[in-house]
Amino acid sequence: MAFVQSRSVVFVAASLLLQSTSWTFVALAANTAATVGGTVERDDLRSIAPLNQRFESLDSDEVPDFQKHIVPLIGRLGCNGRACHGSFQGRGGFQLSLFGYDFRADHEALLAEHSGRVDVDDVDESLILAKPTDAEMHEGGKRFDAGSWQHHVLRRWIDAGASFDANKMHTLSRLEVTPSEIHFTNPDESVSLSVIATWQDGTREEVTPLCRFSTNDDSIAFIDEYGTVTSGMKGDTHVVIYYDNAVAAIPVLRPIGTRQHAAATAKQPIDQLVLRKLDQLGIVSSPSCTDAEFIRRVSLDMTGVLPAGDTVREFLADDSPGKRLALVDELLESPAYAAWWATRLSDWTGNSEEQLNNALPVRGAASRLWHHWLRVRLEQNIPYDEIVAGIVEAQSREEDESYVQYCENMTEACKAGNENVYAQREGLPLYWARRNFQKPEDRAIGFAYTFLGLRIECAQCHKHPFDQWSKDDFDHFAQLFSTIRTNPNQVSPQAKAERNELLAEVTGGKKLSGGDLRKAVYQAAVKGKTVPFGELYVADRFVSEKVKKARALAKKQGRKVDDLPNLSGNILGQTAPVMLTTDPRPALMRWLRSDENPYFAKAIVNRVWSNYFGIGIVDPTDDMNMANPPSNEPLLDHLATEFIASGFDLKWLHREIVASDTYQRSAETNQTNVADRTNFSHHLPRRLPAEVVYDAVVLATGSDEKVSELRTELDAMAIAEGLPRARNRSDFALQVFGQSIRESNCDCDRSNAPSLLQSIYLRNDSDMHRRLADKDGWVAQACRSLGVDGPDQRIDPRKMAAARAAEGYRKQILAKVRQFNDTPLARRAKMKPRVEQEYRRVKSKFNQFGFEMPPLARLLDNPNAWKQVEPSDDLAKGIQIKAIDELVQDAYLRTLSRYPDDQEQSIASEYIEQSESKAEGVESLLWALVNTKEFIITH
């Protein structure tokens, strides 16, 4: 398109200047050490020596324990890994549970008849001894030598009968790792870990030879199979230790520079905790960002809205010391804050129009009502735990609301513009109504993502590879969601008769089903008739009947009825069962609110932090597993504790974060922090979220009138879900920039990765061309202010007359300013009152013609504040040049939230002046600004 060619060729110089900032993204990490060996003494209790020492020979009379020794050893050797017998199809006709989570099944597999894996009658013929010692006969290669301690352990267990009692399982109380933190100073230093297991019966044993080890960054800290950590590059990371169901992560640091002492100067806890870590690493933090960077950054992060040019002008001109905090408070009270964060919460809770397609009888209403329900609560600053309680414990009907009243109220709420009717309702049962959220397993996974920041789906099939969760843990947790019923065509048993009556009125007594029924209900709702709604209910009667039948069967089979437990589930990490004869969700909510809950507060704190820094304290933000520890655990603990103490006040959390020096740091880096991406030593530039990019383009290219209307109403903006998500389709621009698809509750449903298609959209898409050429856009508005109507530059006669008169007054005051500047310094004080008097006289005349005169102080400092134009017959040209300078400033303020520097100002003004038409020049300027990195990336 010629449209693109003109911009990409003739405006290269300005574009390059605007893209001069270099954004660097490099990973960081760090290390440190100590050594322990032999028998370890703790709490006056002597630990048993490690297994490799005890079974150095076959002389030991000890019988290895299947749970404590055999299964961990098999795991250490890699036999139950994904690539070997732990895979779903097994290997060589032999299958073990992945990572050894199922002791009973593994024992049965090892002793299975005809498998030959364990032969208690002919011990040395057992394949678990023969195969791993012979690389040729074993597909997995040689795993240990005959006569090694591993060989002795397995042989002794088989020789003693290869026993295992599933009814006498051991419970691991804790896993102690020494050292608990490793500090290196040089490359290739090494330190050996010692791991002590303490069991519930009080026994203690060093289990280092039975552990598996991994590192989160092997370029910084490499760990071998024996637990020896070796330092590499400078930085920080963690090494991870696995044994039984325990996972422990040990920080490793190797300072980048000399130790700093900046933490002592910090006033806020956030800054103290961040600087304490940076001090350990010898990292010098970046200086504070400029006011222009701050207003743009905090506006986009907190509200998702590009700040208005006039707002930026006022903020930059304000010299008051507290203006940044005042801006933060103003943004928190703005409607955009609630709208944008309702969209973020909609992502995390799974608000998907596609999955809610049939949740309500009125099409297209569900997602809109969901968002507004959240938005109203955020506007009112309802505590986060209360918002979550309204979701988790949601009931379809309000207290004392009959089924018919419920249907009447919901029919009214679903009408366009009546979102507040729904927002006043206590709960959000739509959370439970999604089509992809009906199975207990899906609910368990989604609930953990949303409210706990956990990815537990791995435990659906096997032990979680990086956490403590077993398949049993998952199954018992999923069971909690099995009695919750949500279906658009189902109601509680007590409301069936009333629903049938309403349905008969809608259908005229006809028996309709499927699409015909949905169409009839929808058409009735459109006409304002009350239609039947499905409702959420807990099938406690179903559970009671199920328990009754199970007990009757037990009695018939001669088993003790008392031994049959009620149907129940378990909360993650809890041993006390939750009975399902009543609604289990209040118990879930009590656990979420509990001070002892290790996930709930941290999950939301971590997500909010990630929004402001581009990376979580735990990253990814919904993967808070034991092998993925926080980059700054004291910081996360502090924020979570104080968030709870604040009464789960979300605005407190936002304000606390953005008021910190840590948030307000510049993106400029120094030699020590250039590679830091995890310790918050400087601002990490990142691409704006899809909705924010979309709205920023609209606000940058729209006329002042149109933009003012959008900022006031918000409902048509993408950050407020103003662009409907039709089934299987969303706005092309939002797709291109990675809007959350909300297929699950995973944060990975949203993408902030840059792509070529995004650049093509901004440079060449018809949407961009239409916005720039829009008669109601800013380019058209700018051209009108120049007295130009499109590319042919037709001059408004009234503008010409005003230009002629104003040009004369402009020359008068410039002559007086030059006279003042040419006067010796000693005589200027006496002359200044006359200059000020002349300035006031001329300004009053000048303003009559609709022009604004620069302040006198600015003119005295720089007479070229008005670009000097020699006398010319083309008086309109003089006024245009003066206005062009201002238009360039306006363009920068509305797009990049800053003034252009002198070079940018000069290049842009000259380009517009030299363009074939002023309209084309202004259009190209705006196009170039929107296509800079600075526009689409936070800085």
The answer as to whether 143 is a domain residue is yes
> Residue 34: its pLDDT value, please?
31
Considering the domain boundaries, does residue 725 fall inside one? Answer: no
845 domain residue, yes or no: yes
- Highest-pLDDT range among 30-34, 454-458, 698-702, 808-812: 698-702
Q: Would residue 557 count as lying in a domain? A: yes
Rounded to 5°, the CA angle 36-39-41 comes to 85
Domain count, the chain: 4
Model confidence at 870, pLDDT cuts 50, 70, 90, reads very low
pLDDT at 735 over 60: yes
Residue 480 domain-assigned? yes
**Position 5 pLDDT exceeds 70:** no
152-156, 650-654, 795-799: least confidently modelled range: 795-799
What was the pLDDT predicted at 469?
66
Pairing mode, strands 41-42 and 221-223: unpaired
Whole-number pLDDT of residue 285: 95
- Give me the pLDDT at residue 770, please: 86
Q: What end-to-end distance do the CA atoms of the chain give, in Å?
A: 32
CATH number of residue 246's parent domain: 2.60.40.1080
DSSP 296: H
Strand partners, 836: none
Tell whether 152 and 110 lie within a shared domain.
Answer: yes
Mean pLDDT comparison of 38-42, 216-220, 753-757, highest-scoring range: 216-220
pLDDT at 28 over 70: no
For residues 741 and 725, give the distance between their C-alpha atoms in angstroms, rounded to a whole number: 10
- Counting residues of the chain whose pLDDT is more than 70, the rounded percentage is 81
Per-residue pLDDT band for 849 (boundaries 50, 70, 90) equals low
Is the same domain home to 119 and 72? yes
Residue 4 binned pLDDT confidence (cut-offs 50, 70, 90): very low
Q: Check residue 789 and give its pLDDT.
A: 57
Residue 474: its H or E element: helix 471-479
Same structural domain, 139 and 181: no
Report which of residues 823 and 428 the model is more confident about: 428
Q: How sure is the predictor about 91, in pLDDT bands with cuts at 50, 70 and 90? A: low
Neighbours of 590 (CB within 10 A): 12
pLDDT band per the 50, 70, 90 thresholds, residue 481: confident
Do 123 and 180 have their domain in common? no
The residue with greater pLDDT, 8 or 833, is: 833
Residue-wise pLDDT for 299-341, tens only, equals 999 999 999 999 999 999 999 999 999 999 999 999 999 999 9
What's the pLDDT score for residue 551? 65
Q: Is the pLDDT confidence value at 816 over 90? A: no
Please write the tens of the pLDDT for every residue from 553-592. 766 777 665 544 457 777 877 778 888 888 899 999 999 9
- What pLDDT was estimated at residue 606? 95
Res 462: pLDDT: 57
Domain span including residue 814: 795-854
460 vs 442: CA distance, rounded Å: 10
**Domain check: are 113 and 141 in the same one?**
yes
- How many other C-beta atoms lie within 10 A of the C-beta of residue 784? 14
Separation between Cα atoms, residue 260 and residue 263, nearest integer Å = 8
Q: Check whether residue 138 and residue 248 sit in a common domain.
A: no
pLDDT for position 389: 96
Give me the pLDDT at residue 136, please: 59
Domain boundary among 833, 854, 875: 854
Average pLDDT (800-825) is 71
The predicted pLDDT at position 231 comes to: 94
Quote the pLDDT of residue 808. Answer: 67
Question: What one-letter code names the amino acid at 502?
Answer: L
**Segment holding 556, helix H or strand E:** helix 540-556
Mean pLDDT calculated for residue range 901-921: 89
**DSSP helix/strand/coil, 233:** coil
Q: What is the pLDDT of residues 139-152, one digit of tens each?
A: 666 777 888 888 88
Please work out, in degrees rounded to the nearest 5, the angle formed at the alpha carbon of residue 849 by the alpha carbons of 846 and 851.
65
**Is residue 361 situated within a structural domain?**
no
Question: pLDDT-based confidence at 540, cuts 50/70/90?
Answer: low
- pLDDT exceeds cutoff 70 at 275: yes
Integer Cα distance of 15 and 721 in angstroms = 32
Identify the weakest region by mean pLDDT among 63-67, 487-491, 640-644, 852-856: 852-856
**62-80 burial, b if ≥16 CB within 10 A, otherwise e?**
eebebbbbbbbbbbbbbbb
Identify which has the larger pLDDT, 101 or 516: 516
User: What is the identity of the amino acid at 784?
Assistant: R
- C-alpha span between 451 and 601 (Å, rounded): 9
184 and 155 in a common domain: no
Token pair for residue 585? 């969700």
Question: Are 179 and 145 found together in one domain?
Answer: no
What pLDDT does residue 464 have? Answer: 57
- Same-domain pairing of 148 and 214: no
Average pLDDT value for residue range 352-359: 85
Place 92 in a pLDDT band, splitting at 50, 70 and 90. low
Is 569 or 777 the better-scoring residue by pLDDT? 777
Does residue 429 have a pLDDT over 90? yes
**Nearest alpha carbon to residue 855 among 841, 847, 844, 843:** 843
Which residue among 548, 581, 614 closes a domain?
A: 581
Q: What is the pLDDT of residue 2?
A: 36
If asked whether residues 475 and 566 sit together in one domain, one would say yes
pLDDT at 645 over 90: yes
76: enclosing H helix or E strand:
helix 71-76
Shared-domain flag, residues 181 and 135: no
pLDDT in tens, 206-238: 999 999 899 999 999 999 989 999 999 999 999
Which of the listed ranges 114-128, 171-185, 758-772, 803-817 does the model predict with the highest average pLDDT? 171-185
For residue 818, is it within any domain? yes
C-alpha span between 658 and 330 (Å, rounded) = 13
Residue 545 has pLDDT above 60, yes or no: no
pLDDT score of 11: 40
Say whether pLDDT at 115 is over 80.
no
Instruction: Report the C-alpha dihedral over residues 163, 168, 171, 177, rounded to 10 degrees.
Output: -20
Name the domain boundary from 526, 558, 581: 581
According to the per-residue pLDDT averaged within each range, which of 82-91, 165-174, 461-470 is highest?
A: 165-174
| Domain contains 78 | yes
Q: Which among 81, 244, 64, 41 has a CA at the least distance from the CA of 149?
A: 64
Question: Which band of pLDDT confidence, cut at 50, 70 and 90, is reported for residue 24?
Answer: very low
Instruction: Name the β-bridge partners of 579.
Output: 568
Residues 463 and 556 placed together within one structural domain of the fold: yes
pLDDT of residue 520: 82
pLDDT of residue 106: 77
Q: At what angle do helices 902-914 and 875-895 cross, to 10 degrees?
A: 130
* Beta strands 172-178 and 484-485, pairing class: unpaired
pLDDT > 70? residue 138: no
For the chain, what is the mean pLDDT? Answer: 81
Residue 212, helix vs strand vs coil: strand
DSSP 452: I
- The pairing of strands 568-570 and 577-579 is antiparallel
Residue 887 has pLDDT above 70, yes or no: yes
- The average pLDDT across 750-766 equals 82
